[in-house]
């Protein structure tokens, strides 16, 4: 038996508690409201929240945390706070003696869905006649470029999700529109996964946390931990 915590760090951090001896439908979820800003209150809030979680659900054997976005998408303060939350969460692991791993969004998606981000985009939009009818020629070319692994930045989120027919050019505005829509597509897929596994969630952060927890059980770091525990 191993208890895995999957964590999607943000100001409303999603946490999924996954006991590998139980069915996925038994996964429990929590949303941590992280308080404070840049002056030190934020790490204190995280420590209090994690201590409460450990007392309520048990100390995890393995905690997997999603890597934060490294680009400055929401201003300097947002970037600092996002990485401060991530660093504070990582700091809980050695303090409580918990094995840990970090997964980039692209990594847990491949581990869970066996499909890369760009391959999924290609299959999602070009795999059906209905999908092709929604797109103009420029949009289809962008998807083909992404599917071939060319340098089209569609993985970074931006604010606002416009309709597909509002995107008409291969410029920054169009790429930002794709990025925002693209992020919503993955959130939809995460929520669909939770629904299929009969896991009740309240928001997108909890849905991502569930996916991270399940994907964590497929990682090499988790397998190595299990092997070491069996050999001990």
pLDDT in tens, 1-50: 799 999 999 888 999 999 999 999 999 999 998 887 666 688 888 989 99
What is the model's pLDDT at position 195? 93
pLDDT at 69: 72
Give the model confidence (pLDDT) of 117-143 as tens digits: 555 555 555 454 544 455 555 555 555
User: Could you tell me the two tokens for 209?
Assistant: 């946390």
Residue 147's pLDDT band (boundaries 50, 70, 90)? very low
Average confidence score pLDDT of the chain:
76
Average pLDDT of span 66-80: 70
pLDDT of residue 7: 96
Q: Does the pLDDT value for residue 167 go beyond 70?
A: no
Q: Which two tokens stand for residue 16?
A: 């999924």
| pLDDT for residue 37 | 66
Rounded CA-CA distance 129/119 in Å is 17
**Sole residue written with tokens 């946390």:** 209
Sketch out the chain's domains with CATH numbers.
3-111+199-231 (3.30.420.10), 114-187 (no CATH)
What does the alpha-carbon distance between residue 132 and residue 172 come to, in Å, rounded to a whole number?
Answer: 23
The position carrying tokens 């790490």 is 43
pLDDT at residue 199, rounded to an integer: 96
User: How confident is the model over 75-84, as pLDDT tens digits?
Assistant: 567 778 888 8
pLDDT band for position 114 (50/70/90)?
A: low
State the pLDDT confidence band at 202, using cuts at 50, 70 and 90: very high
Q: How does DSSP assign 149-164, residue by residue?
A: T-S---SS--S----G
132 alpha carbon, distance to own chain's centre: 28
How many whole angstroms separate alpha carbon 220 and alpha carbon 41? Answer: 35
Higher-pLDDT residue of 151 and 102 is 102
For residue 218, count other CB atoms closer than 10 A to its CB: 13
**Mean per-residue pLDDT for 178-182?**
64
Q: What is the mean pLDDT of residues 204-223?
A: 93
Among the ranges 27-41, 55-69, 101-115, which has the highest mean pLDDT value?
55-69
Percent of the chain with pLDDT over 90: 39
Confidence (pTM): 0.75
Q: What is the pLDDT of residue 229?
A: 84
Average pLDDT value for residue range 203-216: 94
């Amino acid at each position: 038996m191993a208890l895995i915590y999957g964590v999607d760090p943000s100001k409303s951090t999603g946490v999924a508690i996954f006991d590998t001896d139980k069915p996925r439908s038994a996964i429990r979820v929590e949303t941590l409201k992280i308080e404070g800003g840049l002056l030190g209150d934020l790490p204190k809030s995280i420590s209090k929240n994690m201590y409460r979680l450990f007392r309520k659900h048990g100390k995890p054997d393995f905690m997997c945390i999603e890597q934060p976005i490294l680009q400055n998408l929401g201003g300097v303060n947002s970037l600092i706070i996002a990485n401060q939350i991530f660093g504070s969460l990582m700091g809980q692991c050695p303090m409580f003696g918990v094995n840990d791993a970090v997964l980039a969004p692209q990594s847990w998606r491949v581990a869970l869905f066996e499909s890369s981000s760009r391959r999924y985009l290609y299959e999602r939009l070009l795999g059906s006649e209905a999908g092709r009818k929604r797109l103009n020629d420029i949009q289809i070319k962008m998807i083909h470029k992404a599917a071939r692994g060319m340098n089209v930045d569609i993985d970074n989120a931006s604010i606002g999700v416009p309709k597909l027919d509002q995107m008409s050019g291969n410029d920054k505005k169009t790429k930002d529109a794709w990025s925002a829509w693209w992020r919503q597509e993955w959130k939809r897929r995460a929520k669909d996964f939770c629904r299929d596994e009969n896991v009740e969630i309240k928001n997108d952060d909890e849905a991502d946390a569930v996916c991270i927890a399940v994907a964590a059980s497929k990682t090499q770091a988790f397998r190595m931990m299990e092997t070491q525990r069996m050999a001990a």
